[in-house]
Structure 1
Amino acid sequence: MTHCARVESHCGRCDKPLPFEFTMAFQPIVDVELRRVVAFEALVRGPRGESAGQILGQVDESLLYRFDQACRVKAIELASQLDMQEKLSINFLPNAVYEPTACIQATLEAAQRVAWPIERINFEIVESEAVTDRAHLRHIVDSYREMGFSTALDDFGTGYANLDLLTELRLDTLKLDRQLVMQIDSDPRRQAMVHAVIAMAADLGCQLIAEGIETLAEARWLKRAGIARQQGYFFARPGLESLPEVPAARFAELDA
């Protein structure tokens, strides 16, 4: 395993167990040009498959730090147990990171314990978090980059994931929200917006991933527009503690 950060003793703020159980489901991210899965996103679920909302509803401010750290560790441990060979994408809560170097220690320890390469971890800034301190978020992203992690802005185009964040953050990936891509094959307004984002991402040196794809027509349009990285129910639903396969027929359909 290679990484720039040294594993140091952490503050202990996140050592207490959570008062509820949770696990992870994994959804594939595909490259339609390469015709293969290139990454999996770890998604919070209850131990019996309960929704993310049911779990997140139990996380109050006093549990925020512990929950964020526990999610990272759980995702890495499960990915290792499942022998994942692709990149692992983990959502993180910016407001739960009070100091990047201290708050990354549990992640580094878990990765070291299971021999998971740092360069195969991508951190997604979740849209649901309103970031009140932009300088702090920039410090997190820059610190993660220096450590060898990659970073992404989730749900780009809606909610808190707005254009102004890109004036301050050097991100590796933008994930286009479902609201931008749904029915894009027949919606000229969405098409115009996505074409503009494609040009902007190219100028900024950001990779694009379209998420929430549910139909063949959406996937085809996005591929023809130049967005090869895609994610959504069209390819596979999240698998509870498992790595769903994407049928080869899905890729063949895109060229039909």
Structure 2
Amino acid sequence: MAFQPIVNVQTGIVLAQEALLRGKDGAGAGWILAQVSDDNRYVFDQTCRRTAIEVATAAGLAATDALLSINFLPNAVYEPRACIRMTLETAERSGFPLDKIMFEFTEVERLDAEHLLGILRAYRSLGFHTAIDDFGAGYAGLELLSRFQPDFVKLDMALIRDIDSEPVKRGIVRHMIRMLADLGVELVCEGIETEAEYRVLRDLGVTLMQGYLFARPELERLPVPVWPAEAPDLAAAG
């Protein structure tokens, strides 16, 4: 597991560290996920959850105020409360607080909306935070959001890339900010790589950000954010 922070650019606080898959040879998550099949999906998903908690605990995350964000595969969950058992046992054994775990998902393939809603509602009832990742890119769209409001929505990075030079993207993000605020959902913009992108998002009112501009993923370590030069107060605090 590698970790990459989600930061609050207004307060200079790390909201969460996202656990990211990496192969032993440095292979990214895409290559690893391509090896997942119906035969190994459940074991793979369970192993990722356990490993994320164990490595995060060893890296000292439990001693901070930041959340641990774990990606999960909805199609690997046959029954939410049964499939969460290993997560609960691992967290208890590792001494990692359950209320500091966030589950985020991306729908990479279609699935039963009722099944997905059942998972999200069960996780919320157990005290976990929830997030929709890559919003605007997968099948998880406005219809799902109308039926369940997660704690966070992570906007797909395709809408963030070059937002400083593309007015249409700025308009979409501006309206997304207003809509999510009305729903009581916090917006995270991910994939931020340049100070120009950061400036536009900051001026639009985005406070939660993630991307190479702040920190690249680090294997089995919690990266310390680097703040943009245009945020001298945060840079001094960091």
Q: Under a length normalisation based on structure 2, what TM-score does the superposition of the two structures give?
A: 0.92
* Separation in structure 1 between the aligned mates of residue 44 and residue 12 of structure 2, nearest angstrom: 35
Residues 1:42 and 2:25 aligned together: no
Structure 2, unaligned runs of 5 or more: none
Q: How well do the aligned residues superpose, as a CA RMSD in angstroms?
A: 1.7
* Separation in structure 2 between the aligned mates of residue 179 and residue 54 of structure 1, nearest angstrom: 20
Residue identity matched to 1:166: L
Residue identity matched to 2:129: S
Which deviations, in whole Å up to 9, do the C-alpha atoms of 1:85-124 show, x marking residues without a partner?
2210000111111101000000000000011111100000
User: Which residue of 25, 41, 45 corresponds with 1:68?
Assistant: 45
1:80-99 correspondence runs (5 A): 80-84=57-61, 85=64, 86-99=66-79
Match of 1:199 in 2: 178
- The answer (yes or no) to whether the contact 2:11–2:234 under 8 Å persists in 1 is no
Match of 2:89 in 1: 109
Change beyond 3 A, Cα 1:255–1:224? farther
217-226 vs 62-71, which moves further:
217-226
- The answer (yes or no) to whether the contact 1:220–1:254 under 8 Å persists in 2 is no
Match of 1:172 in 2: 151
* Separation in structure 2 between the aligned mates of residue 145 and residue 224 of structure 1, nearest angstrom: 32
* Separation in structure 2 between the aligned mates of residue 232 and residue 201 of structure 1, nearest angstrom: 21
In the TM superposition, what is the alpha-carbon distance from 1:186 to its structure 2 partner? 2.0
- The answer (yes or no) to whether the contact 2:74–2:107 under 8 Å persists in 1 is no
- The answer (yes or no) to whether the contact 1:219–1:254 under 8 Å persists in 2 is no
- The answer (yes or no) to whether the contact 1:216–1:253 under 8 Å persists in 2 is no
In the TM superposition, what is the alpha-carbon distance from 1:250 to its structure 2 partner? 5.0
Residue identity matched to 2:222: L
* Separation in structure 2 between the aligned mates of residue 187 and residue 198 of structure 1, nearest angstrom: 17
- SS of 1:186's partner is coil
In the TM superposition, what is the alpha-carbon distance from 1:48 to its structure 2 partner? 3.2
Identity %: 51
Which deviations, in whole Å up to 9, do the C-alpha atoms of 1:48-103 show, x marking residues without a partner?
32211222122111100000111000000000000012210000111111101000
* Separation in structure 2 between the aligned mates of residue 40 and residue 196 of structure 1, nearest angstrom: 27
Residues 1:235 and 2:211 aligned together: no
* Separation in structure 2 between the aligned mates of residue 69 and residue 37 of structure 1, nearest angstrom: 26
In the TM superposition, what is the alpha-carbon distance from 1:254 to its structure 2 partner? 9.3
Structure 1, unaligned runs of 5 or more: 1-23
Change beyond 3 A, Cα 1:231–1:248? closer
In the TM superposition, what is the alpha-carbon distance from 1:251 to its structure 2 partner? 6.5
Match of 2:165 in 1: 186
Residue identity matched to 1:118: L
* Separation in structure 2 between the aligned mates of residue 202 and residue 195 of structure 1, nearest angstrom: 11
Match of 2:102 in 1: 122
- SS of 1:55's partner is helix
Match of 1:26 in 2: 3
234-243 vs 148-157, which moves further:
234-243
Residue identity matched to 1:221: V
Residue identity matched to 1:58: Q
Aligned residues: 232
* Separation in structure 2 between the aligned mates of residue 27 and residue 241 of structure 1, nearest angstrom: 10
- SS of 2:30's partner is helix
Which deviations, in whole Å up to 9, do the C-alpha atoms of 1:166-221 show, x marking residues without a partner?
12222111001111111112211011111111111011110000000010011111
